[in-house]
Structure 1
Amino acid sequence: MTAPPFILSPISLTEFPAYWCERPELFAAIADGKDEEARSLAALKWFISTLKGQYTSRNESLGSEKKPLNPVLGELFYGTWPANTARGGETTLIVEQVSHHPPITAYRIVNKAKGLTLIGHSAQKTSFSDVLIWGCTSGGSIIVKQIGHAVLTVALPNGKEEEYLITLPRLRIDGLWYGSPYIELAETSYIQSSSGWLSTIEYKGKGYFSGKSHTFKATVTPPVYMSGTTHVIEGTWHTTSKDTRSGATFHDVTTPKEEVTVKPIQEQDEWESRKLWFGVAKGIREGDFDTAAKEKSRIENEQRQRRKDEVGAGTTWQLKHFQHAAEDPIYERLGQLFKANPPTEDTYVYKNNGPH
């Protein structure tokens, strides 16, 4: 059963990895850290600053959280952020939908001038949670378990590399009972550096009777073999946070972000997101849901026919930029460094198979 257009966002999930770099100067600044501690803090600042775009931007622009368009197998999204003095060379983005059932999106972000490469993938598992209000069970929340991770590699001036394993928070979609859904982040995610520095990020949101939306507490701890400073950062991930020891502002996303640059629609390949979904997105934005529904059904029916044709021919879809890998040694190695429970549920591994 497909979702009706009136509850949909006009944006495909393949565009979501662009949120990782909508503040490209913070991404570039990771490479400028003078030591392992500084780079770990810079990586945390960049990561926290990506959350607003990923999880609240559609609520702010559309009035409530909308369901993104579910990408088709082979769907592509390309983008860039131009070079400038502050962040060095151009930053590039490649996204590919590598699986449809289950839906898995793989991505790569590179700033060659700064020696930064981020490669990751994401998938979702959804469940429902009932909530007791005034003695009655309501529709509650939708719980989304984000399956996937990203690995950030920093090429250091000494010829060595530093790696960061980034896990993803769980999502809780609240407000369904009131017809105005919004996302809260839940539980804990981690950024584990190959240097041993670990950022543990705990998320708390507004409950039904208390609490504040979008709050977090991040604890940055040194490796077990050294006596370094532990940093504690607290605030709201969609606005600002502070270092609790110094009182200094840590991150601030109340300033304008930088949208990813993409080619004009007429220059895009038929598999690129904005060209593929152009008719659907136009219908949703203009309130022409009949046209949006027809265009959406056409795309979905074409996809079903392609899968049937592949089964009949005994072939499978060939990915363009990524390949499935049986194991991920970086994930396994950095996972062993966790001081808390290491991730164990990430069963999909995708690797980039070359430059675009």
Structure 2
Amino acid sequence: MTTEEASAVPAAQRGSWTSFLKSIASFSGDLSSLTAPPFILSPTSLTEFPAYWCERPDYFAAIADAAAGQDRALAVLRWFISTLKDQYTSRNEELGSEKKPLNPVLGEVFYGIWPDKHGRGETRLLVEQVSHHPPITAYVIENATKGLRLVGHNAQKTSFSSGSIIVKQIGHAVLTVGTGPSAEQYLITLPRLRIDGLWYGSPYIELAETSYIVGGGHICTIDYKGKGYFSGKSHTFKATMTPQPGMGGAGPREIVVEGTWHESSKFTKGGSGVFYEVHEHKEEADPLPWDTEIGEYETRRLWFLVAKGIREGDFELASREKSRIEVRLCFSCG
């Protein structure tokens, strides 16, 4: 174990971390079935992750305010880019490294509200774990005032390659803007993730390969690159937007936006100036209280003691409660 690794991994967990690394290096199936050392666990279930799409609700509401066509397609792209920092770097900043989220149980739910501010309307989120084998999370995000509704599902398939964990995000989301015959729809796919820094005990996420946003008469291709061994910069992307053939897309033939999805980006073709700058402020959800009809499957209630143990460094409590939930609920799912 290197000096860097030794400083990142708690002394009491170094043996289990080394064993975990050996396990993933030799494992041939989906890595999500492996048990991770407690110190690398997140206190948050995957059921809460769709909330990252909502934490800058002003950008979500701005989609409806933009003119149909190129302006709205750019507003969708701007909102999508604004969600990436919180989704993929916030745990490094808050917890010191990327953490493995808790695997949801079948029927686990999360319900969040972002109140109306500045006349943008209230944003609501409902998430449910709809499958356990394979694990699939479904979600609905709605701003009724603005006529916005996003419906999607997500699953992960993980593997090990060249010293990194590769996470293929399976699923997509469909964003509907407006109602009736004039409604527009945007299909949004998800980037692939590469988890690096494993050998130092400080995992972090890089986005990889390509995702797409298709709608509003335009196709947007988003290419992601990270820092390589000898060159490159972390968290970079290049988004190329072109009119969709046969769909009446208007405006410049091609628009290109480049930069870093966790800091800032700018137009490099078909426009000028700053496209998006990440601001630290984000809005947390107001979750539905535990004493409502949702009951014990509300995610924060279900994992309360596990999260408490992780946050307080009581890994014995976290492991015991996690095992209790898995035996009582997960294994009964089949």
**Fold in common (TM above 0.5):** yes
**Residues 103, 175 of structure 1: CA spacing in aligned structure 2 closer, same or farther, 3 A cutoff?**
same
Query: What is the 5 A alignment of 1:199-238?
Result: 199-225=220-246, 228-229=251-252, 230-238=254-262
Query: What is the 5 A alignment of 1:28-43?
Result: 28-43=61-76
TM-score by length of 1: 0.80
| Residue 263 of structure 2: aligned partner | 239
TM-score by length of 2: 0.85
AA paired with 2:50? P
Larger helix proportion of the pair: 2
Query: What is the 5 A alignment of 1:68-107?
Result: 68-87=101-120, 89-107=121-139
**Residues 51, 106 of structure 1: CA spacing in aligned structure 2 closer, same or farther, 3 A cutoff?**
same
Query: What is the 5 A alignment of 1:1-356?
Result: 1-87=34-120, 89-130=121-162, 140-155=163-178, 159-193=181-215, 195-225=216-246, 228-229=251-252, 230-245=254-269, 246-267=271-292, 269-304=295-330, 306-307=332-333
Q: CA deviation at 1:111?
A: 0.3
AA paired with 1:141? S
Counterparts of 1:13 and 1:223, CA distance in 2: 34
AA paired with 1:218? A
3-state SS in 2 of match to 1:2:
coil
3-state SS in 2 of match to 1:105:
strand
> Is the 2:106–2:333 Cα contact (8 Å) retained in structure 1?
no
**Residues 282, 265 of structure 1: CA spacing in aligned structure 2 closer, same or farther, 3 A cutoff?**
farther
AA paired with 2:278? V
Post-superposition CA distance 1:245-297 (Å, at most 9, x none): 44311112233111111134455621000000000000000001111111101
Post-superposition CA distance 1:65-96 (Å, at most 9, x none): 01001100100000000012341x21110000
AA paired with 1:166? I
Counterparts of 1:291 and 1:128, CA distance in 2: 29
Counterparts of 2:280 and 2:274, CA distance in 1: 14
3-state SS in 2 of match to 1:114:
coil
> Is the 1:14–1:95 Cα contact (8 Å) retained in structure 2?
yes
Counterparts of 2:251 and 2:146, CA distance in 1: 27
Post-superposition CA distance 1:107-166 (Å, at most 9, x none): 000000100000000001111112xxxxxxxxx11111100000000016x851100000
> Is the 1:282–1:292 Cα contact (8 Å) retained in structure 2?
yes
Gapped regions of structure 2 (runs ≥ 5): 1-33
Counterparts of 1:307 and 1:188, CA distance in 2: 34
Q: CA deviation at 1:223?
A: 2.4
**Residues 304, 177 of structure 1: CA spacing in aligned structure 2 closer, same or farther, 3 A cutoff?**
closer
3-state SS in 2 of match to 1:270:
helix
User: How many residue pairs were aligned?
Assistant: 296
Q: CA deviation at 1:38?
A: 0.7
Q: CA deviation at 1:208?
A: 1.6
- After TM superposition, the structure 1 stretch with the greater mean CA deviation from structure 2, 251-260 or 298-307, is 298-307
Q: CA deviation at 1:304?
A: 4.5
> Is the 1:240–1:254 Cα contact (8 Å) retained in structure 2?
no
> Is the 1:129–1:142 Cα contact (8 Å) retained in structure 2?
yes
> Is the 1:4–1:293 Cα contact (8 Å) retained in structure 2?
no
3-state SS in 2 of match to 1:258:
coil
Gapped regions of structure 1 (runs ≥ 5): 131-139, 309-356
Counterparts of 2:122 and 2:267, CA distance in 1: 31
> Is the 2:113–2:122 Cα contact (8 Å) retained in structure 1?
yes
Counterparts of 1:253 and 1:173, CA distance in 2: 22
Counterparts of 2:251 and 2:154, CA distance in 1: 33
- After TM superposition, the structure 1 stretch with the greater mean CA deviation from structure 2, 3-12 or 198-207, is 3-12
AA paired with 2:199? W
Counterparts of 1:9 and 1:189, CA distance in 2: 26
